[in-house]
Structure 1
Amino acid sequence: MSSLCGTSSLRRSVIFSSRRSSLDLPRIDRIIKCSLESKGLPGPSYEPVPEASVSTVEDRTPDERHRLWKKGLKAISQGKLAVVLLSGGQGTRLGSSDPKGCFNIGLPSGKSLFQLQAERILRIQRLASQSIEDSARLVPIHWYIMTSPFTDEATRKYFESHKYFGLESNQIIFFQQGTLPCVSKDGKFIMETPYKVATAPDGNGGLFSALKSSKLLEDMAMRGVEYVDCYGVDNVLVRVADPAFLGYFIDKGVATAAKVVRKAYPQEKVGVFVQRGKVGPLIVVEYSEMDPAMSSEIHQTTGNLRYCWSNVCLHLFTLDFLKQVATGLENDSIYHLAEKKIPSIHGSTVGLKFEQFIFHAFAYSPSTILFEKKI
């Protein structure tokens, strides 16, 4: 084991941790070492995504929009779409220890994020059934909800207590993302107690390995799913299972797609889509990793920001692509380092959490399209 991990901390964790059987020590050592060594290294060169390559739904004719809508509804009516919700985080920044989706965001109706999204799925199901000849046949949209060890029980109980917001209980599948140990800045394990290593969720990019390890990719295939709509829980404006977006995705025949919103101003704290090199894939660069000059660069002809396509975590993938990327990202040992205050035997320790992001998958995609939604 690398000295980066701290011999005494490691020995305590192996001998005493009640969860020691879940610690893949060679993998954890590789992640710690590779992630720390990559910190501060120069990244690849980036090019802006050409505006002409981004589709804007509002700029299409009514007939074209209707055609895409109908194509998406048809696929939904055939059971080809599954929805994946990324919901492993707690609402601590909202002043709550509950899962984010339970949070009352102050609407007059008092509806939570979970309820708004469930009702959207219910409505799309009904529209899809009405679009086919046998309108009495309701094909459910299966909703896969990724929790974490910190939110799983509360999320399940919340849905059960609200009778699944009108959806059938068997169309909602809960599964947990993984966790990774938290470490100090020099790579030593942080102990939550004298006998337990402090851990944290492995980021929303933990989705891929979680889908693979829980056999849910096979479950989707068995149900006839071909397309997977993935989104983050904390977007109140999300159009879950958007037929127009799905129709456009199917029309283009690509492996991946993302909805984007034009960046409002240079300092806005959002990641943006860029092209890696002259001919590389589309990827996302976090705002914290962008050079200020790059963030402020203006297109001389249009007057718009050159790097302007904000990632808002609204993605579509083919199931075939998810199967491929689940293995690729599982073998990727470089994780994002997030500096956080971590509960420890010392009360609180400033350390590092290791996270993968769902947008890391785009680097593996042979073809990605961006679909602009104007606010």
Structure 2
Amino acid sequence: MERSQRKMDHIRFTLETREETESFWDDISFPPNSLPNIYYGNIELGTTLAPFALDSPIIINAMTGGAAATTEINRALAVIARERGLAMAVGSQMAALRDEAVSHSYQVVRKENPTGLIFANLGAEATVDQAMRAVEMIEADGLQIHLNVMQELLMPEGDRDFRGYLDHICEIKEKLPVPVMVKEVGFGMAKETIGQLIEAGISLLDVGGRGGTNFAKVENKRHHLPMAMFENWGFTTAESLLETEPWRGRHAAFIATGGIRNGLDAVKAIALGASAVGIAGSILRLVQTSPLEMCLEYVDLWHHQMRVAMTALGAATVKELQEVPVLITGKTAEKGRLRGWNLEGYARRGSKSRADS
């Protein structure tokens, strides 16, 4: 199957594969703070993913490219990123490296957002030369290297050989002139993987957990012999964030992608240790079904929801939000006890009030 057709299949089946109304985020809650001593108008949503400073913790995460029809999707996403100051990543650029004719479907992002923060994207099988070309193609500020082992295994034409991935990542990081981020595409990260990447010098990680776009379901829809038993494979985003705890404050920053439905989910992810949150499927549905102005209104609504939650918690900044007490219950807590997470420590963290905020 041609890559362009595969890209269109991914878009179609992603739109057909609806996110669940009930979510693992429902296992995460906060003790109420009836005396937050804070002013909504002073809430600061800026965050840091060293060396990048972001105006908003919301990132439009990697989705598409590589087919003529995806050009308009990426154009719309780039305009939203530009108008609301959001960082953005393009989808895997391997299609354009193999067929220059589709490179415009990625380059449109930089054309529409000439000064914004943009990440290029390739899989861990990529060479240094391919990584260089992907960055140059869109004048990217950084590179995402995505990990998608289960998706490849379920993909009819997917890869089956995953040897040397960590070596490739290390070599690209050493030789690329821009920062490198490693991201999971939706199956989550365990502490064992996180530790390997951090030891290799990767300081930006997107834990990309189960709960958003389910690429196991997407690939099963493309296969005449689907393997539905793998559709719940991996860690949720919340579980993956809890796996990052040993490396907090050690010059590593974490992004939470997967199942972010609204601003409150984003706040929960940050309280569990994320510095930013990635949104993909929900904003893809928006640009495919709504006019641009409505898409911009939804981003404004997500920001408003975040400010409401942060005000109610007495957290004026992302850094303060990462220190508020958070309650972890349900299936997330059950798995947490097996993995040795300090659930009581999260519940008993001290929240900080800001006088005269």
TM-score by length of structure 2 reads 0.30
Larger radius of gyration: 1
Task: Considering Cα pairs closer than 8 Å and 6+ residues apart, tell me whether 1 or 2 has the greater RCO.
Answer: 1
TM-score by length of structure 1 reads 0.29
Q: Determine which structure has the larger strand proportion and give its number.
A: 1
